[in-house]
Structure 1
Amino acid sequence: MVQTQHANTDADTIHTAMDRAKSVLVGLLLAGAVIYAGIVGYMFLNQQSLLYQPDGELPDPASVGLADVDVLSLPMADGAVLTAWSAPAAIPDAPTVLFFHGQSGNLGDRADRLREILNSGYGLLAPSYRGFPGSEGEPSELALISDGVQLFDKLSGEGETVVLHGQSLGTGIAAAVAAERPDAELLVLEAPFTATVDVAAERYPFLPVTALMKDQFATRELIERITVPTLIFHGTEDQTIPLHHGQALAEMSDSAQLYVIPNGTHNDLWSYGLWDDVHQQLQKN
């Protein structure tokens, strides 16, 4: 009888320990689920501020070495007014570059690029996106693409030949405009993505970004039907948007040339002669 009582006591102890372990495990799983839900909720609610990162005040063009650039206020179809930097071509019949900047900062941060464009004799129209310094409204994929098409039509209506140049986030806009306006002279994609949602999925593989992300800028779904001659520039050391994005777009396109820039990162491709290659291509056209 004593042996039986000891056995029962041992069994009770084991069961109690197992119950406690189960309780701890369930508690950990519930805590993990709550934390994960919090992360998902945070990313969902803040996705626009993660994608669009305006910063600073829009400087006077002359203060960043662009004394020949005018500041325009351009009303869009929905009433939002955008600020854009503009300059006419210095060479007769030279095209105008419609320049779409990246996701952060403001136009002043791209002054060196814009100066190279102007020094080549081309015209310039560089909008500050909705919600970015100098412009009204809130940025979104549909709104930015609509604005881009309207700006293209403005230039085209004035008799300008248009080169579409997109930088990083701007590549999604430039490509979408090229898909809608095949009469563009050239499409330049500087450090492009296959889609913003693809970049997000690579950065956050533990999150259901495809289901969560509103502005996906799926250039991969447009590139096959873009007939505008296209130049794709991508650096081998780009840690923001890896090289395989540019390579994938080039493989999908029948009209694209890929320039792989050894040691190039996300923001220094112009220092490796990007604009020289664009200029040479335009001279051939």
Structure 2
Amino acid sequence: MSPRKVSLMSRILVYVLVAIAALYLLLCVALFVFQRALIYFPQPSAYATPDNVLTLPVADANLQVSVRPHDGPKALLYFGGNAEDVSQNLPSFSAAFPDQAIYLLHYRGFGGSSGSPSEEAIARDALDLFDRVYAEHPQVAVVGRSLGTGVAIRLASQRPAARLILVTPYNSLLELGIRQYPMFPVKWLLKDTFDSAKYAAHISVPTLLIAAEHDEVIPRSSTVRLYGQFIQGVASMKVIAGVGHNSISESPEYLKLIGAGL
């Protein structure tokens, strides 16, 4: 092969490598800029009436909370998944937990709440809601599902929750992101890490972790790692057989286990 052809092929190879590197960097930038659109999928509220919606003004937003008011010391705070309309739990929760006042938070951008969701904003909103509820109900059980388990465990490490229930919980969102996007430097790109493991050791109230046998979103290993972060004797773990990440609430065991943990 002539030197001219070798030189041409070398230049072409360099151009190809530069193009690949540029495309990779562009994808990294896109992942960084649009990451929250890949985490949060706001849903409208299906059960919104003046009787079952509480508007909670916070510093920079107005939050919508689906509620079932009830006099008495007990209340249940619920934080849902990243694409969940939490109001759909209102009928089943109201029937299953008649002695609890029920508060289901619509994250920013969800169900009529203003603002845009982020880990820190949701964490502040959870504290504000807890303080509002705790002023009327001294026994507050905190329940989180999927993404909401990261919200719930952080809240329970900072406020006097009576119980903590985590449905399909994960060790950290960063860990899941690295698994989902192994080709990208997720550790350096991810803003909302939801590091549940960091808060587990600070939990002292009775805690129940509920896993789905066939969870296709959160690996059992991630849930088990989180379980191992709790102080011995604080937490217990149950697995609902025959269900997946999204179908777990369809099992008759779902509400029974939550009720047992309250």
Cα distance, 1:275 vs. partner? 1.7
Which residue of the partner structure matches residue 51 of structure 1? 39
TM-score, length-scaled by structure 1? 0.84
* One-letter amino acid matched to 2:201: E
Does residue 1:276 correspond to 2:252, yes or no? Answer: no
Cα distance, 1:204 vs. partner? 0.3
Which of structures 1 and 2 has the bigger CA Rg?
Answer: 1
CA contact (8 A) 1:103 1:170 kept: yes
CA distance in 1, matches of 2:52, 2:239: 34
The percent identity for this pair of structures is: 29
Does residue 1:84 correspond to 2:61, yes or no? Answer: no
Which structure dedicates a bigger proportion of its chain to helix? 1
Which residue of the partner structure matches residue 135 of structure 1? 113
Out of 199, 203, 206, the residue aligned to residue 222 of structure 1 is: 199
CA contact (8 A) 1:155 1:161 kept: no
The structure-2 alpha-carbon separation of the partners of 1:80 and 1:37, relative to structure 1 and needing over 3 Å to count, comes to same
Which residue of the partner structure matches residue 41 of structure 1? 29
Which residue of the partner structure matches residue 97 of structure 1? 76
Does residue 1:114 correspond to 2:90, yes or no? Answer: yes
CA contact (8 A) 1:102 1:170 kept: yes
Which residue of the partner structure matches residue 5 of structure 1? none
CA contact (8 A) 1:89 1:118 kept: no
Out of 216, 225, 239, the residue aligned to residue 216 of structure 2 is: 239
CA contact (8 A) 1:87 1:125 kept: yes
CA contact (8 A) 1:233 1:269 kept: no
Which residue of the partner structure matches residue 16 of structure 1? 4
Cα distance, 1:61 vs. partner? 4.1
* One-letter amino acid matched to 1:277: L
The number of aligned residues is 257
CA distance in 2, matches of 1:161, 1:127: 18
CA distance in 2, matches of 1:262, 1:22: 58
Cα distance, 1:260 vs. partner? 2.0
Which residue of the partner structure matches residue 187 of structure 1? 164
* One-letter amino acid matched to 2:57: P
Which residue of the partner structure matches residue 135 of structure 2? 157
CA contact (8 A) 2:79 2:144 kept: yes
Q: Bigger relative contact order, structure 1 or 2, given CA contacts below 8 A and separation 6+? A: 2
- Output one character per residue of 1:43-100: Cα deviation in whole Å (capped at 9) or x when no partner: 1110111111113x323447xxxx9x62111111x1411111111237x54x211011
CA distance in 2, matches of 1:235, 1:123: 27
TM-score, length-scaled by structure 2? 0.91
Structure 2, unaligned runs of 5 or more: none
- Output one character per residue of 1:148-174: Cα deviation in whole Å (capped at 9) or x when no partner: 011111111113411111111111110
CA contact (8 A) 1:175 1:219 kept: yes
CA contact (8 A) 1:88 1:96 kept: no
* One-letter amino acid matched to 2:199: L
Cα distance, 1:106 vs. partner? 2.6
Cα distance, 1:25 vs. partner? 1.9
- Output one character per residue of 1:189-228: Cα deviation in whole Å (capped at 9) or x when no partner: 1111211111111000111111111111110111111112
Does residue 1:70 correspond to 2:52, yes or no? Answer: yes
Q: How does 1:253-272 map to 2 (within 5 A)?
A: 253-254=230-231, 255-272=234-251
CA contact (8 A) 2:141 2:163 kept: yes
The structure-2 alpha-carbon separation of the partners of 1:253 and 1:72, relative to structure 1 and needing over 3 Å to count, comes to same
CA contact (8 A) 1:236 1:242 kept: no
Structure 1, unaligned runs of 5 or more: 1-12
